[in-house]
């Protein structure tokens, strides 16, 4: 990162107003960033009649990257338009275990690359009659190829042997058939090895032997479900970061929700948001800073302090301060 980057900051609702400031404290310790603070979510909707004000959409559209917290009931009305605004065609969700954190499957270390614009999340629903409603599943060759290109770049740049495609083309023969064929074609052209698995069978295999997977490429809904399953293997959603990546901009957010049951208590685990900030740094080209942040988070998870969800008694601010203290030259 050779010049000052502009980052839009959207805390959202609930614990977003606690974990996002914690992540900003860490970012400030390692990078020179100009922030644009904007709001979205349930509280904004109650005050202004819309969960996504125009100035928020504009700020996210123009910033180099966005750090996003979490929203409540209005989540789909906020994050989906924001992803569209930055042309976010892939959702990157790493899931790995950390020292000091109990995990169902301690050997888990994988990344899910999820198509982010199509499938059943394209918003094409209709109520035809009182008895009948429909949902149209959208899959295009162009979006499938774009995801495949990203996946090939990802495995090559991260020294992976290849990736596994999760799909259900034995049932959704036309839509998933197009998706899988396109991914296969792109991988073959790039010389990248590809395995395949039906998404339902993969759910079982992931739970029993996650070490069998490294990078998983899948359509939108499958990626949503499988990544949450992976979260359960490593200790919960509170540890998982994510990136919504476009060709020029990205939105970085923890996978967990706004947790209204603990909002305002100052005990939310900021780890996922800080790790999302590390992905943001990497996206901006600050690889060394991103590595330093991840190392500091891992050391804090291993040695404490820890928030109550991990068996500790520390506050959100105390964990953030411990991460900062473990950064180089602090």
Q: CA angle 213-235-264, nearest 5°? A: 135
Q: d(Cα 61, Cα 13) in Å, to the nearest integer?
A: 20
Are 42 and 75 within 8 A, CB to CB?
no
User: Cα 5 vs. chain centroid, distance in angstroms?
Assistant: 21
DSSP 261: T
Closest CA to 319 of 8, 18, 17: 18
Q: Which sign does the torsion angle of CA 2, 295, 98, 17 carry?
A: negative
Peptide bond into 269 cis (omega under 30): no
Q: d(Cα 272, Cα 237) in Å, to the nearest integer?
A: 8
Closest CA to 61 of 77, 89, 81: 81
Closest CA to 109 of 221, 256, 249, 209: 209
Cβ within 8 Å of residue 124, ≥6 positions away:
135, 136, 138
Tokens of 74: 């209005």
Q: d(Cα 189, Cα 183) in Å, to the nearest integer?
A: 10
Q: d(Cα 314, Cα 308) in Å, to the nearest integer?
A: 7
> Where in the sequence numbering do the catalytic residues fall?
121, 168, 200, 224, 228
Q: CA angle 244-248-249, nearest 5°? A: 40
For 252, phi then psi, to 5°, come to: -120, 125
Task: Give the SS3 label for residue 318.
Answer: helix
């Amino acid at each position: 990162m050779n010049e000052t980057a502009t980052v839009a900051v959207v805390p959202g609702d609930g614990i977003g107003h606690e974990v996002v400031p914690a992540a900003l404290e860490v970012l400030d310790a390692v990078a020179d960033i100009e922030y644009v603070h904007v709001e979205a979510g349930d509280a904004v909707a109650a005050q202004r009649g819309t969960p996504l004000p125009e100035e928020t959409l504009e700020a996210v559209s123009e910033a180099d990257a966005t750090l996003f917290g979490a929203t409540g009931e209005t989540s789909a009305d906020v994050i989906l338009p924001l992803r569209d605004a930055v042309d976010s065609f892939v959702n990157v969700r790493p899931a790995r275990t950390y020292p000091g954190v109990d995990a169902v499957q301690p050997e888990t270390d994988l990344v899910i690359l999820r198509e982010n614009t199509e499938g059943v999340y394209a918003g094409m629903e209709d109520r035809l009659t009182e008895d009948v409603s429909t949902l149209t599943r959208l899959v295009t060759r162009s979006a499938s190829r774009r995801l495949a290109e990203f996946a090939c770049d990802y495995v090559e740049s991260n020294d992976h042997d290849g990736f596994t495609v999760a799909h259900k083309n034995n049932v959704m023969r036309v839509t998933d058939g197009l998706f899988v064929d396109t991914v296969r074609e792109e991988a073959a052209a790039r010389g990248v090895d590809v395995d395949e698995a039906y998404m339902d069978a993969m759910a079982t295999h992931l739970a029993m032997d996650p070490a069998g997977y490294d990078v998983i490429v899948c359509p939108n809904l499958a990626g949503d479900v499988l990544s949450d399953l992976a979260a359960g293997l490593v200790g919960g959603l509170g540890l998982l970061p994510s990136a919504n990546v476009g060709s020029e901009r990205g939105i970085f957010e923890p996978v967990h929700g706004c947790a209204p049951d603990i909002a305002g208590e100052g005990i939310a685990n900021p780890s996922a948001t800080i790790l999302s900030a590390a992905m943001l740094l990497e996206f901006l080209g600050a690889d060394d800073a991103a590595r330093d942040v991840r190392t500091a988070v891992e050391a804090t998870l291993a040695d404490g302090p820890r928030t109550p969800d991990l068996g500790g008694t520390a506050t959100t601010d105390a964990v953030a301060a411990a991460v900062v203290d473990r950064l180089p030259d602090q």
